[in-house]
Structure 1
Amino acid sequence: MSVPAGRLLAVPRTADTLPSLRELLTTAVEAVGGSERPGQVTMAEAVHKSIRTGEHLAVQAGTGTGKSLAYLVPAVRHAIESGRTVVVSTATIALQRQLVDRDLPRLAKALKQAIGREPTFAILKGRRNYLCLHRLDTGAPEEPDDGALFDPFAVSALGRHVKRLFEWSSDTETGDRDELVPGVTDQAWRQVSVSAKECLGKDKCPFGTDCFAERARAEAGQADLVVTNHALLAIDALQGYQVLPEHDVVIIDEAHELVDRVTSVATAELTAGMIGAAVKRCGRQIAEDIVDRLEEASEGIKEIFDDLPQGRLDDLPRPLEGVLRVTRDAAHACITALGPDRSSQDLESTTARRQAVALLEEIHDTAVRVLEAFDTDDAKRRDVVWLSSDMVGGNLRPPALRVAPLGVAGLLRERLFGECTTVLTSATLTLGGSFDALARQWGLPVEQRPSQKAEGTATDVAPPADNDIPSWSGIDVGSPFTHEKSGILYVARHLPPPGRDGLQPAFFDELEGLVNAAGGRTLGLFSSMRAARQAADELRERVDFPILCQGEDSTSLLVSKFADDEATCLFGTLSLWQGVDVPGSSLQLVVVDRIPFPRPDDPLASARQRAVEARGGNGFLTVAATHAALLLAQGAGRLLRSNDDKGVVAILDSRLATARYGGFLRASLPPFWTTYDQSVVRGALARLNS
């Protein structure tokens, strides 16, 4: 949306000249053709209070609450009253697009008369998400080799994608990658984009005045509301320079994904291909003997990585330590030889230097971080290090050494909660009946704080807090759905516990009976793609209903086919646990194959679990069970998407009923009516299907 040039000069309105929050909410709800819901009103009042008092807030708001309006209306009111920008952060592109393309335009028009002007909004992403006009003009530098370009088909596909990007560059108004449909590979996109470190800056770049990223930042700086993503929020906290516009309030939607997204941004990797690309970027800019040292480091890294077993590194092998020290010192020598930016350099030399330094600094800093990760005992370690190879597009990439933070609580507490008032919201924030699990991950004090119900909590006065301890409150505003009457939780207690050798015959018998009783209409959520494919193959032999499996086509197209045909079933893995919104009779059965604990060999989860235990805590409950509870709650949330929906969530893992941790997991699920009786649940599904 275009932002008036006078935005920063606008005179803020005082609270007594603005309509009340309740009046604005009523106006907004009427404008979008909705009806006011108790949970929505409670949430809006709680957000308004949080913004007013500066106390952080966590709000669990079930599907159908209308939480977007519940936080957007008080956010707009604060922006108009204070003259300051409010940042709204989301985890997914889908919610970003919903806010920018649907919710905010309608809200802005609805509130224009009441507040005296139309509120303004903008979307802002990291620089890598925008086309770089200078790179389009000069071409990309040598990219780190990920192994894919050994395939001639990958080379030709890359060329076709880059050609599309050049053609698209003359048509796009924003240069935003997400507006390119269909999309292109990451490898292709890197040819036409730059990181913040590679960017010349608008003053030096010949395309500075037309830069898509700079235009987006300028627009965001003048907007009342800025919509961004958790990754950019993390970059803003991690970097030493400001990325987001000046703001005093952040609203984090899809807050259950915040820790994972921040962790991803804070994760670094090192490969032989990166070092080889840095050698080529240095080119003739520095003395050959200095570059040779870096090239030798690349060869050493490749040799060592090929010899080491993959997985988490609990100790630093001496050969790896030696080659990391060589890599660190060689990268530093190259950076020193390149010297500082010089105004006398021509544009081509400045660009080449900037591109080389950006990659060299990444290599140097990652080597340093890995070396330092092993300097302390287990209880004090801050990072986890592992070696792994990823499968991308059917190609196995060369090994990469990765380093990630064991936790981001300290970072969030200092750089997010310590800087501005923060509201966190999602349909899933209470695990085991409490906010405590996620509060620990966010760096907020738990202090025996229970999961509060909505009644009376929106206006309660918070106890005084120490200046160093963030003050916060948590409320659950409930859901408009009557879970006990609309849904059944079926736990197949009679099945044997899942094993490590794939799905068992008894599982397929159980699944077949459920799918037949439901008449198709089944979303199968599996803990791995192997299990999803195995189930799809088996059920296609057993039932007459169409079975779609993730990976056979784009996920969006598969979900669309599933929604359009009531008899169709859709089986898949992680993205379906959180990304499917299919109201109506096409989805009446959600099946979960097993409790989604992290894999035992997951390097980050296992290291976090061990770190908790080293401090005397319960690592399994804190890490593995919390991870599983969050995913289970998200998966179960696929069932009821509108007031008329009815159906069954079937967990085909008997441990949910028999294991000691089962109570914690069940308390994290919506309050469905629960049964262990196979005949009862099949009968209920058959009646729905009749």
Structure 2
Amino acid sequence: MARYRPILTVVRAIFLGVARSELPGVLELLTHAVEAVGGAERAGQVEMADAVGRAIRTGEHLAVQAGTGTGKSLAYLVPAIRHAVEKEATVVVSTATIALQRQLVDRDLPRLAKALKKVLGREPTFAILKGRRNYLCLHRLDTGAPDEPDDQALFDPFAVSRLGKDVKRLFEWSSDTETGDRDELVPGVADQAWRQVSVTAKECLGAARCPIGTDCFAEKARAEAGRADIVVTNHALLAIDALQGYQVLPEHDVVIIDEAHELVDRVTSVATGELTASMVSVAVRRCGKLIDADIADRLMESSDAMALILDDLPSGRFDTLPKPLAGVLAGVRDAAHACITAMGPDRKEEVEDATARKLARTLLDEIHDNAMRMLEAFDPDQAHQRDVVWMTADTFSANPRPPSLKVAPLAVAGLLREKVFGLNTTILTSATLTLGGNFDTLARQWGLPAKQLKVVKAEGAATDKEAPSDLESIKWTGIDVGSPFDHKRNGILYMAKHLPAPGRDGLQKSTLDEIAELVDAAGGRTLGLFSSMRAAKQAAEELRDRIKYPILCQGEDSTSLLVQKFAEDARTCLFGTLSLWQGVDVPGPSLQLVLVDRIPFPRPDDPVSSARQRAVEARGGNGFLTVAATHAALLLAQGTGRLHRSISDRGVVAVLDSRIATARYGGFLRASLPPLWPTTDPQVVRDALRRLDAAAPA
């Protein structure tokens, strides 16, 4: 059937009244779209749309840095829709955040579909697709979840009552929802409650065997996605599609990765495995009557031994595998394998028995594979080590957790090169992709070769794809289409060169004095981005007695409500940490000063980044610049981007870490930021803030 698809495509297009050759070009469609939504043509948007269209035609991958205000969503959606309609194909758009997914599905795509309906001959279709765990499982709801109390219940006497209330809400909601999508449940419920009514892809019986498979919310979402021109998903599902041995996303030949600066971290997160003593004991309970008791007892004994050993081990990264832990992991691996063997292959049986077998087998596979992976992670040659193993334990905090072993990949470049770039034409875009002034750093992390192609401006023929070749290597282009914002005219980068380098004992008095003077000069209007919650709270508590403007601090209410209050009152300040570096969009006079307390290097005890840094050094590279400085540059660029959210925004980004001006790596960090006008003079900055405050509307 596949070989007849091109013929059917032409016939279908002619039947619709628009032959493939008659479809307008990308730039003509962009003009239609911009006029329909009441926008204005932007040079960067035009350049980006042209480049995306060319990449789709040639099959050569593309990385596009598009600054805030470019209108990049429209710039990649228009050529994507044209390709989908022309080829009767599906294009996958992957994002990192729920906010952007909702913007695409609720605003951008509906408006664009209506705008292009007439010129394309039909209205383009779109759908959103998430992992199976995000949808209500009607079979789980009907049969009930296995009796597996969360570890949290051991510490929190109120956890069970909260769980019961949440599950009751979910039962009531199941009668009203049409999609079963967790994100449509407002207010939401805790993860523990959601796990009672959902299953992972590995736990699912499959639509053919499930007695409620015809009404399955996840299957309906997949079916809708398979019929759509554009499918919006997230980086996690994209990673699952690449990692698993079965297809998750619909057939597609083009994938567009927005917020591509987050791709490596999201893929790493999906590829991270976990192993706890309670996971092993839960697997024993799931086995139940499926295997002989003496075989299950071996697994239970390994769980008990694991709990004892982990209690005696310190938290943190393992440079070598402790002998007692190696023995326990080998015992867990072998006992899990024995259970899997005893359980045997899937068989024809009652649905209830099939469900129990699937749940048990899924967890046993995970336990066995993670134990094996941890045992194999310790290569004597650090340059060839593939994974990092560490332990976390937190039994004394407000939300205590027992010890947990984790394993994560040191790099995901090979996976992305083989399973993403090797299979699809890929467009990566974000406002922050060039670090130190070029794409090389992120290209290495993605698995793209260091050498990129030159940009060819001509639009080209209907298809410019080269014939396949055994000698073919990955080809890609990187372009920066700039931003419509005049950063040098409208923004100042203040580097507090006179301040001492940050210490480990919280914010110094001189730094707090500097913050107070800057906030006072700005008349409030300040977003404080801190490297830790401890520093944000210290600044908020100490400055509330020193300045007359209200200070909100992350953690005092939901982040969305705090941002809303901050935006509504121009005199208010908002202090916080990581999520504010990337998640705040407040145009106008409410935000005219962005404070950064220190360069956001990863914590020295962060197991993944420290192991990656060590691996780079083992291969003769500069681990600090490759890992730590890259992490800091990305976050700094994202944080700096909070200042300019509209073309009329003006203000100051103040970095209170003198190392950005004095350290050798400072030039790399500065080259990764928007081109703000730089200064180290505090008086110049305070005077500028006072002028902006005086000119702002009352």
**TM-score, scaled relative to structure 2:** 0.95
Q: Please show how residues 263-282 of structure 1 align to structure 2 within 5 Å.
A: 263-282=268-287
Change (3 A) 1:457 1:541: farther
Change (3 A) 1:8 1:154: farther
| SS of match in other structure, 1:398 | strand
Aligned equivalent of 2:671, options 664, 667, 682: 667
Q: Please show how residues 451-490 of structure 1 align to structure 2 within 5 Å.
A: 467-490=471-494
| SS of match in other structure, 2:402 | coil
Specify the alignment match of 1:11 in structure 2: 12
Indicate if the aligned counterparts of 2:544 and 2:551 stay in contact, CA closer than 8 A: yes
Whole-Å separation in 1 of the counterparts to 2:224 and 2:147: 33
Whole-Å separation in 1 of the counterparts to 2:689 and 2:106: 38
Q: Please show how residues 155-554 of structure 1 align to structure 2 within 5 Å.
A: 155-343=160-348, 345-389=349-393, 394-447=398-451, 467-554=471-558
Whole-Å separation in 1 of the counterparts to 2:396 and 2:411: 27
Whole-Å separation in 2 of the counterparts to 1:602 and 1:163: 39
Specify the alignment match of 2:91 in structure 1: 86
Indicate if the aligned counterparts of 2:437 and 2:672 stay in contact, CA closer than 8 A: yes
Task: List alignment gaps of at least 5 residues for structure 2.
Answer: 1-7
| SS of match in other structure, 1:25 | helix
Whole-Å separation in 2 of the counterparts to 1:19 and 1:374: 56
How far did 1:283 drift?
1.4
- 2:126 aligned with 1:121: yes
Change (3 A) 1:625 1:392: farther
Change (3 A) 1:391 1:86: farther
Whole-Å separation in 2 of the counterparts to 1:182 and 1:235: 27
Indicate if the aligned counterparts of 1:145 and 1:277 stay in contact, CA closer than 8 A: no
Specify the alignment match of 1:4 in structure 2: none
Specify the alignment match of 1:134 in structure 2: 139
The residue type equivalent to 1:561 in the other structure is K
Moved more, 12-21 or 52-61: 12-21
Deviation sequence 1:520-547 (CA, Å, 0-9, x none) = 1100000011111111101111111111
Whole-Å separation in 2 of the counterparts to 1:680 and 1:457: 47
Aligned equivalent of 2:610, options 591, 595, 606: 606
Change (3 A) 1:459 1:309: farther
Change (3 A) 1:35 1:374: same
| SS of match in other structure, 1:469 | coil
How far did 1:462 drift?
12
| SS of match in other structure, 2:214 | helix
Q: How many residues align?
A: 680
Task: List alignment gaps of at least 5 residues for structure 1.
Answer: 1-6
How far did 1:11 drift?
2.1
Change (3 A) 1:391 1:455: farther
How far did 1:340 drift?
1.6
How far did 1:14 drift?
4.8
The residue type equivalent to 1:101 in the other structure is D
Change (3 A) 1:194 1:393: farther
How far did 1:152 drift?
1.3
How far did 1:226 drift?
0.4
Whole-Å separation in 2 of the counterparts to 1:539 and 1:568: 13
Moved more, 158-167 or 115-124: 158-167
How far did 1:392 drift?
11
| SS of match in other structure, 2:376 | helix
Indicate if the aligned counterparts of 2:52 and 2:62 stay in contact, CA closer than 8 A: yes
The residue type equivalent to 1:357 in the other structure is R
How far did 1:467 drift?
3.8
How far did 1:157 drift?
1.2
Change (3 A) 1:466 1:687: farther
Whole-Å separation in 1 of the counterparts to 2:418 and 2:553: 43
Specify the alignment match of 2:107 in structure 1: 102
| SS of match in other structure, 1:215 | helix
Indicate if the aligned counterparts of 2:507 and 2:535 stay in contact, CA closer than 8 A: yes
- 2:687 aligned with 1:686: no
Whole-Å separation in 2 of the counterparts to 1:459 and 1:489: 42
How far did 1:154 drift?
1.7
How far did 1:153 drift?
1.4
Specify the alignment match of 1:3 in structure 2: none
Aligned equivalent of 2:636, options 632, 637, 641: 632
How far did 1:147 drift?
3.2
Whole-Å separation in 2 of the counterparts to 1:633 and 1:469: 31
Whole-Å separation in 1 of the counterparts to 2:560 and 2:591: 16
Whole-Å separation in 2 of the counterparts to 1:673 and 1:656: 15
How far did 1:15 drift?
4.1
The residue type equivalent to 1:113 in the other structure is K
How far did 1:225 drift?
0.5
| SS of match in other structure, 1:315 | coil
Whole-Å separation in 1 of the counterparts to 2:24 and 2:329: 62
Whole-Å separation in 1 of the counterparts to 2:494 and 2:470: 46
| SS of match in other structure, 1:284 | helix
Among the aligned pairs, what percent are the same residue?
74
| SS of match in other structure, 1:384 | strand
- 2:59 aligned with 1:62: no
Indicate if the aligned counterparts of 1:55 and 1:473 stay in contact, CA closer than 8 A: yes
Q: Please show how residues 569-580 of structure 1 align to structure 2 within 5 Å.
A: 569-580=573-584
Whole-Å separation in 2 of the counterparts to 1:637 and 1:392: 37
The residue type equivalent to 1:518 in the other structure is A
Whole-Å separation in 2 of the counterparts to 1:89 and 1:276: 37
Indicate if the aligned counterparts of 2:58 and 2:465 stay in contact, CA closer than 8 A: no
Indicate if the aligned counterparts of 1:42 and 1:458 stay in contact, CA closer than 8 A: no
Whole-Å separation in 2 of the counterparts to 1:14 and 1:473: 31
Moved more, 390-399 or 624-633: 390-399
The residue type equivalent to 1:656 in the other structure is I
- 2:147 aligned with 1:146: no
The residue type equivalent to 2:372 in the other structure is V
**TM-score, scaled relative to structure 1:** 0.96
Deviation sequence 1:559-595 (CA, Å, 0-9, x none) = 0000000011000000000000000100000000000
How far did 1:466 drift?
8.2
Indicate if the aligned counterparts of 1:525 and 1:572 stay in contact, CA closer than 8 A: yes
The residue type equivalent to 1:558 in the other structure is L
Change (3 A) 1:492 1:459: farther
The residue type equivalent to 1:72 in the other structure is L
Moved more, 633-642 or 13-22: 13-22
Change (3 A) 1:144 1:477: farther
